[in-house]
Structure 1
Amino acid sequence: MHPLLSGKKLIAFDLDGTLIDSVPDLAAALARALEAEDLAVPEQENVSRWVGNGTYRLVERGLAWAQSTPENRLDRARLNRLYAAFMRYYGKAPHRLTRLYPGAAETLYALREAGFVLVLITNKPERFIAPLLEHFALSEAFALCLGGDSLARKKPDPLPLTHAAARFSVAPSACVMVGDSCHDIAAGKAAGFATAALTYGYNHGEPIGQSRPDALLDSLSELL
């Protein structure tokens, strides 16, 4: 096992950019929503920089880009209409183009078999978690799954992490947060978790090392 896991009991994982490459489906749904409003469609590279704060912020950033308008000056009625369309399109095909990162499934089940409590903590709306985990045969890996709308606050707030630790009566010092973005690392540090960051995910175009995680990983299999 990776030295970071020594003495640990619970491991929390992010989803998008950590376990799955979901940008292709997110970008496709955003494109359809924007096209319906006769707006320009961004490249996937743009969308990858907008992921991490939940789907509403993703759509907000997309609309601001398409209109060349600051986010705080957007027409909220249009934004809400666009968001509803995005959620409808994404909900119809959340895993058509999405791919599981190499080694993700094997690593998760090996860690569970080794006795770790695994939890999923994502800012993606909860309604999309089960279909994705079922599609990728990961439903049995996690003892708890929390979406961005499961609790009153989401990452980078530490609430989802401290909630998970309390749920299983595990001290934060015996927990690890594994993610790909600064929000995962900030939440982990604020919760008192050790932190591990994947170098391949989505982090608004910035090197994840700048967030100073306790460990940098090029692959999830490095946890084993």
Structure 2
Amino acid sequence: MTPPLSQQDYERLHGVMRAVLDGAGAHTTQACLFFSVVGGYLLEKYHKLNTTPLAGAALYGLGGDPPTVLTFGRFEDEVLVSDRAAFHAWIQVGDWAIDLMAPIFPENAAERGIRVPVPRRSFQRHVDTMASTLEDLEVADTFLLVPDAPLTNALVSASLRRPATADLANVCATWYRPYPQPMDEELILGSSDGAPRVMRLPTVSLEGSW
């Protein structure tokens, strides 16, 4: 099965959005909704893909001994739930889940005190490869996504109402170019204080895919 994006396009998309978020002083490790909403916009604009932003709980098996799982969401009485304080967001493209924030998982894991090595990789997985039980997540490179429709609607609507979302989305759209088109390594923007702001693409390459 061939994923919707090439590895080069995925890396460019992630790099542009990450650089723009970092340049804007955002909490990039908590910006999954931005990667979902703006990432979907860029996929539609430049790659002509039909996208749906989704939010809910997400679990990613990291392996290790004992097995470790990177969790977005929380458990209540052994039931996995999500809300505004505990959620993740990704993009649905047909039968594929695309998580453009996945290369930041090493930072997410470090914030949670996880010591299992987490490779910096892309994430495009067919939904048929998703784990069916929590026990399946004991194996590395497994995942489980549990979208919450009401939560998705509330979060996406709130994001689209923020002027900053549109502003940063326009910056991303100005900068991003699909591979193999030329794309600048940096973008210089003006700022309210008159000093130019230089945004640079990350220099760290991805180590393959999930």
TM-score interval, smaller chain: under 0.3
Normalised by the length of structure 1, the TM-score is 0.24
Higher strand share: 2
Normalised by the length of structure 2, the TM-score is 0.25
